[in-house]
Amino acid sequence: MGIQGLSRLIADVAPSAIKENEIKNYFGRKVAIDASMSLYQFLIAVRQEGNVLTSADGETTSHLMGFFYRTIRMVENGIKPVYVFDGKPPTMKGGELAKRAERRDEAQKELVKAEEAGNTEDIEKYSRRLVKVTKEHGLEVQRLLALMGIPFLTAPCEAEAQCAELAKAGKVFAVATEDMDALTFGTPVLLRHLTFSEARKMPIKEITLAKVLDEAGLSQDEFIDLCILLGCDYCDSIRGIGPKRAIELIQKNRSIDKLLESLDTKKYSPPADWPYNDARRLFKEPEVTSAAEVELKWNEPDEEALVQYMCAEKGFNEDRIRNGCKKLYKARNTATQGRLDSFFKVLSSPATNGNKRKAPEKNGPANKKAKTGGGKFKRGK
Amino acid sequence: MFEARLVQGALLKKVMEAIKELLNEASFDCAHSGILLQAMDNSHVSLVSLNLRREGFDKYRCDRNLVMGMNLSSMSKILKCASNDDIITMKAQDNADTVTFVFESPKQEKISDYEMKLTNLDQDHLGIPETEYSCVIKLPSAEFARICRDLSQFGESIVISCTKEGVKFSAAGDIGTANIKLAQTATVDKEEDAVMVDMQEPVTLTFACKYLNMFTKATPLSPQVCLSMSPDVPLVVEYKIEDIGHIRYYLAPRIGDEDN
């Protein structure tokens, strides 16, 4: 999934691009969420004694549970989520998907073995790996979201790419996914762990693309090449080149084409007919619906219809659903807290200037003067 | 070399109390003209701007501009060790990574010094434009603190509405509603006890109680507080610190939502 080892590499080469924040600090922010990723998460994680939750007639409901409660948690914290579902996979992902199918088959075999041996731990482990998201799961969640008044859309192709498009156009503040290739698609701000359970107390990791590029000294095109070298979903990478070599090579050669010219082919052999150019194009011009055509609207939840769907059809507890609805109403009717940075302009972030004690005269105080200069003593009242 | 000696050490203790709840850490920008501090709280809703001019210090020396990133809870622990009548001196070498606080008792029989590590801070600095505000309200600081405290029992936010008659603070919540109206004081005996409203146009804005209550921690610094408001811009709450400078708080208003 995503880009191999990218998050660790960013932590190494551009530590200041990563910030940890509490969920409550994201009030008022619109966030695009990779719904297909969340579907997997919930089907895997929302379980009781190792089994997925089901309604009385045996239909899985883990995903509905997850979407209902985690969405409410975000809304309660003032976040305005918009979910983006995957469309058809790009043809280039065929190889990756085949690999995943292979792994699934393996897990199936292991599961049979574990069942024979009666090893409960293994049964749980492998059954989790067998989780498959079906079209029905997606449709059920979409029905739920519509009733909750939360907007969603289906991407023509990859959800991450569509999320990135919304964020780039300023329709949303950030993209929430665990998939690092959202950055490769050009997402300005990526949030990880947003859809995790509250009980895990995981702080939200905010990764700012501009800071990554700035600190690593790369352009977006070079960054895309770096991601291809690290290993993406669309094509193979060069055997033997790990994250450290990859960034060195890109920083030196500035592109995969140049790098191939000087690469010691005896030591490293790039895949034959390597389609890195196509992968590049997929990252740069992915198939997406233009953000201008997307209209996002958050509506009132339809309480009665929700109760009907979730309780009568899916067997959820009515009190809980009604309670959840109350929270949705309440969050809608409180005014959103504004942020100072939307009123005042950010002048500089001193940390990007390196060690502040080395060059404080140039940065900090000079800016401070410019900023407070007018207001310092003048406004006597 | 940086050195700032403040005979009224209690002042620094009060400043600390006024900012430490809002901020975890902040940079003190020391320059020839004095000490400045600007920092936003974690959620970027409010901003503290502190200004201490060199004239207010008993002795002030700053050879080179210096940015000192301090952990405020550590600094607060250290300042708690100073008595109210102590003389406090802050000292740092150029390019140092520590700052020293020296406390002298009034009769000089006891001198203590504390050294604290500085930290590198990654904080955004905001440019705050000089604005003419539509309403400027001056009132006794204790009165303002009382109003914020009382109203926060009713709801999470306070509506401040200023008209030519005076200023009204209101809150609403599950238990009911609350309104406090202050009229302009007609005859002014002592300026700091008066309520004064200078209004160009009426303004009504909503603010989160939580932050207002944190601002009122500055009440001991000044008998009077000044609130400045204009439609749809942040509120400014200013406390003048006698002879030395001021502390200003900026608070973003709560706004209705256009996408609902």
> Does residue B140 share a domain with residue B47?
no
We report the CATH number of the domain holding residue B158 as 3.70.10.10
In a domain, B257, yes or no: no
The Cα B214–Cα B207 span in angstroms is 12
> Does residue B154 share a domain with residue B66?
no
CB contact under 8 A, A364 and B65: yes
Closest-CA residue of A relative to B254 is A337
Q: What's the whole-number mean pLDDT along residues B158-168?
A: 92
CB contact under 8 A, B252 and A340: yes
Question: Pairing relation of β-strands A189-192 and A174-176?
Answer: parallel
Q: What's the whole-number mean pLDDT along residues B79-102?
A: 94
Dihedral (CA of A241, A246, A252, A256) sign: positive
Residue B226 has pLDDT above 80, yes or no: yes
Where among B61, B85, B117 does a domain terminate? B117
> Does residue B181 share a domain with residue B102?
no
Q: Pick out chain A residues at pLDDT < 70.
A: 1, 348-381
> Does residue B207 share a domain with residue B173?
yes
In a domain, B122, yes or no: no
Q: Which two tokens stand for residue A224?
A: 């895309």
Instruction: Flag whether residue A337 sits within 8 Å of chain B, measured between CB atoms.
Output: yes
In a domain, B123, yes or no: no
Dihedral (CA of A308, A309, A315, A320) sign: negative
User: Which amino acid is it at B224?
Assistant: Q
Domain extent, residue B110, equals 2-117
* The pTM of the whole model exceeds 0.90: no
The Cα A56–Cα B85 span in angstroms is 73
Question: Pairing relation of β-strands B111-117 and B98-104?
Answer: antiparallel
The reported pLDDT for the residue numbered B50 is 97
> Does residue B111 share a domain with residue B21?
yes
Q: Which residues of B touch A22 (CB under 8 A)?
A: 42
The Cα A187–Cα A182 span in angstroms is 6
Please give the helix or strand (H or E) that residue A355 lies within, else none: none
Please name the residues between 348 and 377 in chain A that touch chain B, using a CB distance below 8 Å. 348-351, 355-357, 360-361, 364-365, 367-372, 374-377
CA of A337, closest CA in chain B: separation in Å? Answer: 4
User: Radius of gyration over alpha carbons of chain B, in Å?
Assistant: 20
CA A337 from centroid of its chain's CA atoms: 25
Q: Which of A297, A357, A376 sits opposite B51 (nearest CB)?
A: A376
CA A119 from centroid of its chain's CA atoms: 34
Which residue is it, tokens 């008792």?
B105
Q: Which two tokens stand for residue B223?
A: 């008998």
Q: pLDDT of B99-113, one tens digit each?
A: 999 999 999 999 999
Q: pLDDT of A103-113, one tens digit each?
A: 888 888 888 88
CB contact under 8 A, B128 and A349: no
In a domain, B127, yes or no: no
Please indicate whether residue B136 or residue A130 has the higher confidence score (pLDDT). B136
The reported pLDDT for the residue numbered A199 is 77
CB contact under 8 A, A338 and B67: no
> Does residue B153 share a domain with residue B73?
no
> Does residue B99 share a domain with residue B64?
yes
The predicted complex's ipTM stands at: 0.80
**Cβ–Cβ pairs < 8 A, chains A and B:** 146
Q: Which two tokens stand for residue A359?
A: 């060059």
Among candidate residues A331, A325, A296, the one with its CA nearest the CA of residue A147 = A325
Please name the residues between 296 and 315 in chain A that touch chain B, using a CB distance below 8 Å. 296-299
Residue A30 near residue A298 (C-beta atoms within 8 A): no
In a domain, B164, yes or no: yes
Residue A355 near residue B121 (C-beta atoms within 8 A): no
CB contact under 8 A, A374 and B130: yes
Residue B149 near residue B142 (C-beta atoms within 8 A): no
Residue A203 near residue A193 (C-beta atoms within 8 A): yes
> Does residue B88 share a domain with residue B171?
no
Q: pLDDT of A158-170, one tens digit each?
A: 999 999 999 999 9
The reported pLDDT for the residue numbered B211 is 96
> Does residue B235 share a domain with residue B142?
yes
Instruction: Flag whether residue B108 sits within 8 Å of chain A, measured between CB atoms.
Output: no
Q: What's the whole-number mean pLDDT along residues B98-127?
A: 91
Beta strands, E only, A8-128: 18-21, 30-34, 47-48, 51-52, 80-85
Q: Which of B95, B233, B255 sits opposite A357 (nearest CB)?
A: B95
> Does residue B17 share a domain with residue B74?
yes
Helices assigned H by DSSP within chain B: 9-19, 72-80, 141-151, 209-215
In a domain, B62, yes or no: yes
Q: Which residues of B touch A20 (CB under 8 A)?
A: none
In a domain, B124, yes or no: no
The reported pLDDT for the residue numbered A1 is 58
Q: Which residues of B touch A80 (CB under 8 A)?
A: 259
Q: pLDDT of B176-224, one tens digit each?
A: 999 999 998 887 788 888 999 999 999 999 999 999 999 999 999 999 9
How many domains does chain B divide into?
A: 2
> Does residue B239 share a domain with residue B162?
yes
Residue B134 near residue B201 (C-beta atoms within 8 A): yes
Closest-CA residue of A relative to B126 is A346
The Cα A71–Cα A88 span in angstroms is 25
> Does residue B12 share a domain with residue B113?
yes
The reported pLDDT for the residue numbered A274 is 86
In a domain, B128, yes or no: no
